Structures are given as C-alpha cells and as structure tokens.
Amino acid sequence: MTTETAQQSRESLSTSAARNLATTTKTVPQMLGITPRYLLRVLPWVELEAGVYRVNRRRGFILGDGLISTSTEGDGQARVIAEDLREIGFLSRLDSPLLSALAQGFVQSEVASGELIVDAGAPAGQLYVLVAGRAEKRATGEYGQDALVAVIGEGDFFDADAWATGSPMPYRVEAVTECTVLTLDRRMLLELADREPALRAQLDALGTEGPAGNDRERPIELSSGHTGEPYLPQTFVDYEDCPREYELAVAQTVLKVHTRVSDIFNSTIDQVRAQLRLTAEALRERQEWEMINHPEFGLLHNIAPTQRVRTRRGSPTPDDLDELLTRVWKQPAFFLAHPRAIAAFGRECTRRGVPPQIVELFGSPFLSWRGVPLLPTDKLDLQGSANSAPGTTNILLMRVGEDQQGVVGLRPAKVPDEAEPGLSVRAMGVDLQAITSYLMTSYFSAAALVDDAIGVLQNVEVSSYHDYP
C-alpha cells in the first residue's frame, strides 16, 4: 500500500500532523553533574563581615601531617624528602644541609608479607620509614595476649623516640603486605649530634625526660583533692602567637548569552535564568570539591596525624569505623564517604551479620553506624586507574559547629548582587557581538576549629566482594 493510498483511507487527522499544532510540555534543562551536596547542606555556616576568619587556639605542639614523604628515582630507589624529616620533633630545627646528609643515609629494603620488620625489645638501632605497603604495630598485652597497637602505611615512621635514645623497641612491626622500607642507622644521628651541640642537648633531654606526653597543648596548672590550706598553683592560658587565618576562596566564571537567544527564544522557559541556574549548580559542585580537597584549606588536608586511622585489612569494617569514632568521640555528627565506600561497608556488615541501622535525613534513607549517619559524596575521590581495580578512598568523620569546636563552613555575610548566600551574579554588559556577559562568583572556605573535630579512615578499598552461604 502506497503512502497516498494510506492517506486516502484514513478517516481522521493523524497524530504526526496534529503534533504540528500542539504545544509541547518541556522540562527545565537537566544536568547529570548535580549531586545532593550533603556537606554543604549539613555544615553550619559562619557568615563573615570581613573576608578573613581567624582561629585562635591554645599554644600547641603539632608539627605537620606526621608523615615523611619519599620519592622514587629513575633507578627505582626510594629517597626521603629531606625537609620532611622535620616531622621528627628533635630534628625540626636542623639546617637543611644537615637534613640532606641524614636523608642520604637511608637504605632501602624489601619485606615480604607476613615477615617481621622489627621485633619488640630489640635495641632501636635504626629509624624505619615505610615507603609502600601496610604493616601492623603489635605488642604483648597486660595479660599476655597479642594486641594490635596501630596499622601503618606509606609515610609512617617508627620509632623515633627509641631510635634517639637507644632504648628497646616498645612494639614489634609485622608486614601485612609486601613492604618497601627505608632505614637510617642510629650511628649517623650520633655523629651528627657530636657536631651539633643543640641536637645533642635535645637528645640528652629525651633520654632523661622520656617520650613526649599526649598533651598537645601547653598545660594549665591545677590542684584538686587537697585538704587544709596549701598554696594553690599559679597558671595562665597561653595562646598561639600566630593563629591561623582562613581567607575566603573563590570560584568564578563568566556566563555568556547572546541577546538574540534571550530576546526571541525566551518562552516558555527563561533562557537566561536557565543558564544561570545550571552555572550556579556547577559552581556549588566545585565549591564542595574544594572544601574537601583543596591543598590549603581542604578538610582532607587539614587532619592532624593523631586523627588518621588506616584500615586493618583494606575494606572498611565496623571495627575500622569504631576506631575512627574513638578519634572524634565528642558529639560526632556524620561520616562522609564515597558511595562505593558506603557500599563496601555495607557488604562487610552483611558478612558479619550486623546490618547497620537506617536513619532518614532530607527525606531519604541513609546507612548509619552507632547512630552516626554515613552521607555519600562523589567529591572524595577514588585513587586508582580506570584499567585497574577501583582503588582506595577515604572516609571522613566530623563534629560540626562553632559551639562544639567543630568544623564550620565560611562564607561572606553579604556580597553585592547576591543571588544565593555567598554567590553573586553581576551583569557585565553587552559587547559588540551582541553577547551579554554575567560574572558569577562564589566565595567560601572551611575550617576545623580544633584538631579532634575531624578524623579520617585512610586506604579504604572498595573492590572486595564476598560469597555468602
């Protein structure tokens, strides 16, 4: 049957012809990159009258990230970054040439999985730096049982105090995976101390005073439990001389819309408004990524060494999250994790028969552990290539709010041409090509007020699956 014959036999108007007279129902423009951005939604925001936020603290003694960085040369040999030796307290004030001399003295070795790197009780004749792999610090418990002290990984070193004083190792270290280790003989440290009186004085002080205590702030002298009329201690609270200041960061772009588009193609959806909305969404996505990953103010890069926990076996287990909760135990607000990490945690819970509880936030269900919700975000990157296993990621746990000495978001109290809090849209005029430009700017930052406001579970593997009976 020909088309002409079909048209002659039809007794009503075809839908394809009628569609030419109909008005379609259209959606606003959709965008795959929009996420719930839970961090921006749950974080309390401090609105700044000026562009700087100063965090005043008691005087403390934290050096840096607590890790010694290494680099691998073309010959495959790992080298210690000399300046990172300042992470060891008694080496922090040495001149750079002396640090370089120490860095050149490290010797590389390979340790197979399951082998002993150093035994407990042995004289600490060497300083160990873990270049690659994962190992466990273990000791004998109070009643003779084998106790896990800590899980260590790339950049961790042990044991600096025992190495400096020549005392026995307080624990043994066993390789969980194949490990690459750099070692520095104590003899080099002693030779350097003979030439540097200041270093010798610090080593002698370590020998008499023992390892530094756990108090990372200048103590406040107090008296309690006394009777009678003793003289009370005199004290004061010391502050940091140079408290940290956070300047508001910026994310910007120039949106261009041709006047022809906004003039004659503006019904039923406002073209300019649609362009502005999607660009604002992209700015907010970048804002959340920067607040987590920026090398200066990003939360992931501002976590104290004592607040870092490594997974025991790679996959995130209930034990690992419990350990993280011991670091942020003062009113923890939420975990923040990649969706793949949350799924991996769910599998480990299923394997153990301890399903996590479900809590409802923002109208959606979330997994929780010990009552603390796990919020998903794709801004915590998966480290790994596309041609290999998904790799590893991190899980953050934080306490929030100024009143709780927690993590806060920072934004300006008011900006000109503000479209949303902290986001401005400023018309820049029409150029000679009849294109209208809009400057879109987002101001933001984040700050952890004290060290124990945030912790991280590192080296979280997301590719382990189990067969269930």
**Domain ranges, ordered by start, for the chain:** 38-52+246-461, 70-209
**Residue 316: predicted pLDDT:** 95
Q: What is the pLDDT of residue 5?
A: 60
- Hey, do 38-52+246-461 and 70-209 end up sharing a CATH topology, with the first three levels equal? no
Q: For residue 229, what pLDDT is reported?
A: 86
CATH class belonging to 70-209: mainly beta
- Block residue for tokens 């003989």: 185
| pLDDT at res. 217 | 66
The helix/strand/coil state of 205 is: helix
**Is residue 240 within a helix (H) or strand (E), and if so which, with residue range?**
none
Hey, what's the torsion of the CAs at 400, 404, 409, 415, to 10 degrees? 140
Low-confidence ranges of the chain (pLDDT < 70): 1-8, 60-65, 74-75, 207-218, 384-390
Q: Of 33, 31, 424, which Cα lies nearest the Cα of 254?
A: 424
**Alpha helices (H) along 353-419:** none
Measure the CA–CA gap between 170 and 162, rounded to whole angstroms.
Answer: 8
Tell whether the torsion through CA atoms of 125, 129, 133 and 138 is positive or negative. positive
pLDDT at 214: 43
CATH class of 38-52+246-461: alpha beta
Contacts of 120 (CB under 8 A, 6+ apart): 138, 139, 140, 168, 169, 170, 171, 172
Distance CA 367, CA 346 (A): 8
Contact 454, 396 (CB under 8 A): yes
For the stretch 54-73, pLDDT in tens is 999 887 644 566 788 888 77
Enter the pTM of the model: 0.83
Per-residue model confidence (pLDDT) at position 429: 95
DSSP, collapsed to helix, strand or coil, labels residue 115 as: coil
Which residue's entry shows tokens 């590893």? 392
pLDDT value of residue 233: 84
